[in-house]
Structure 1
């Protein structure tokens, strides 16, 4: 019976991971960003806002992306007005991020993070990982296999040792 339950838990965990890898986000550029396009790569998903005290983290997110992208890291910015600190349109967000921070990382359209309207990714994080962003610039590291490897709040800087260490470990695992 124990072996059966253990096997069932592994299957359920793989289904959750598969769901994450199969998720899609509307792109700020138009079209769709598909998590499956990054299969085998770790993805750091960050809910962002252009008018937040933590907005300067965009610069560090771009630095993180520049530092590790050749090794396979994807940094996905998810603008949101859930905490009422985002610009009025995706076009304004895109222009602001390009002009103020020179961002070239993938970025979604403006999406809700909480409640019934939350994007499917954030519903999965809530239901399966117990993670709900409490503010802007919360970070979720998804491993190459779709597992949630870590979550961090707004105060954890993108280039902190906590995050870079987790990214380096995820990249090493992805390369194995």
Structure 2
């Protein structure tokens, strides 16, 4: 089934309305879809490098909007839909481990986790289930998703197809280094 879903996404990446298909994938991935929108973002940027900024912006905004659906699932329907989604993707243990992190680090943990390839649906559903402040959730989601999608799009724009394999194989490493540098920068500014 996952292969069929992947093949369907690749077909949509070549469609004349591909950017809107990417927006839909980005929206639903934030709450229940199994495949990240990067798989559509990458070919779209490679096909139209001069439009990288617009493509990353659409992907980011759709992901943040979809995050509200995930938040609502966690907030209002955790015992039914939320649990079913977590069970489907085997995220129950990660969900339980996420609560103390949210309690201790607040928006920072959403920024860090939301920028990495950790399933964003886990973050959005958990934020709703834990009744995390919606304004902070919105801010953290915008920062996290923009960091992720704009970084990938910018790398593809700057380096083109040769960077594609690197990004696809090492997305976790790229995003982790980026997040560490940003957090270190914020800490440095705070200490000075």
- Please, what TM-score do these two structures have when normalized by structure 2? 0.30
* Higher share of residues assigned helix: 2
* Higher share of residues assigned strand: 1
